[in-house]
Amino acid sequence: MAFVTEADAAKAVAEKVARSIHAKPDLVLALPTGRTPLPLYRELVRRHLSEGLSFKRVHTFNLDEFRGIGGDDPASFRAYMDRHLFSKVDLDPARIHFLDGLAENVKQECDRYEAELRQVGGLDLAIVGIGGNGHVAFNEPGPAVVPWTHLVKLDRQTRISNAPLFGDDPSRVPLEAFTMGLETILRAAEIALIATGSSKAEILAQALEAEITPKIPASLLRKHPRFSVYADEAACSKLESRALSVLI
Ligand code: GLP
């Protein structure tokens, strides 16, 4: 679905989340970080405060976390989520699930996350963004995908784009991160990709219109039968197909 502005796209995703919670109050959500979902989180907070949207029974699983920093480090994705959503809605802290960047035993930490997901019945709705190189969560382009939650070495480009969290200094961005795998995400009942801004136009066109390949991890999302894209006009500007061209 294409929207004129990023605020319109965010409202549509928030509407989807609200409807999903209404249908299943113990919804299991996968959540992204970065610049893109900020308008969505603002809209969810607004709906909570002014329309009574309640997250009391919702489970959240964030897609990824840097390795080597704790959740109380302001640069962590956990701290980002606390700032933008968790501290502002009525989520039950026991239902907030996060990868621990300080976990020493990598395999044990990845297994724990997958086990917690299984315990709650798997993801109902995975909300994801797209990196400039086509990454989803922190699944970087490569010859093959790693299906389940794992540790990744971050691309140079990814570290540069995450530098704002680290005082604009890419050298301070951790070299590694934990991330859900593509299969973890593809097992969700439904996937919503948000892409906004002209900086995403080229990669969105490749992800949606070029071949499905692990070299563009986001292209693999097209294998999912309930995969939708919420993009603004700027992000759609390089798409050839008219599929996303009807602006709402
Ligand atoms: C980050 C995150 C992704 C996010 C992507 C895009 O590195 N790991 O989950 O979707 O990059 O970020 P932004 O929305 O800031 O462009």
Q: How does residue 22 score in pLDDT terms, banded at 50, 70 and 90?
A: very high
Mode of pairing for the β-strands spanning 96-97 and 2-3? unpaired
Mean pLDDT of 166-170: 96
Say whether 133 is catalytic.
Answer: yes
Residue 25 CB neighbours (<10 A): 12
Residue 109, Ramachandran bin (φ over 0: left; ψ between -120 and 50: alpha; else beta): alpha
Say whether 22 is catalytic.
Answer: no
Say whether 135 is catalytic.
Answer: yes
pTM score over 0.75: yes
Whole-number Å distance between alpha carbons of 33 and 41: 10
Q: Does the pLDDT of residue 248 top 80, yes or no? A: no
Whole-number Å distance between alpha carbons of 210 and 92: 41
pLDDT number for residue 241: 76
Say whether 114 is catalytic.
Answer: no
Q: How does residue 202 score in pLDDT terms, banded at 50, 70 and 90?
A: very high
Of 81, 147, 66, the C-alpha closest to 114 is: 147
How high does pLDDT run on average in the chain?
95
Whole-number Å distance between alpha carbons of 70 and 78: 8
Whole-number Å distance between alpha carbons of 178 and 156: 16
Nearest-CA residue for atom 6 of ligand 1: 131
Q: Does the pLDDT of residue 200 top 70, yes or no? A: yes
Of 17, 34, 137, the C-alpha closest to 89 is: 17
DSSP-derived secondary structure letter, 211: -
Name every residue whose Cβ is closer than 8 Å to that of residue 38 and which is 6 or more positions away in sequence.
84
Span 36-65, pLDDT tens digits: 999 999 999 999 999 999 999 999 999 999
Tell me which of 67, 161, 193 to substitute to probe ligand 1's pocket, judged by most ligand atoms within 8 Å of the beta carbon: 161
Query: From the alpha carbon of 32, which atom of ligand 1 is closest?
Result: 9
Q: Does the pLDDT of residue 182 top 70, yes or no? A: yes
Q: How far is the CA of 90 from the centre of ligand 1 (A)?
A: 25
7 phi and psi angles, rounded to 5 deg:
-65, -40
Mean pLDDT of 222-242: 92
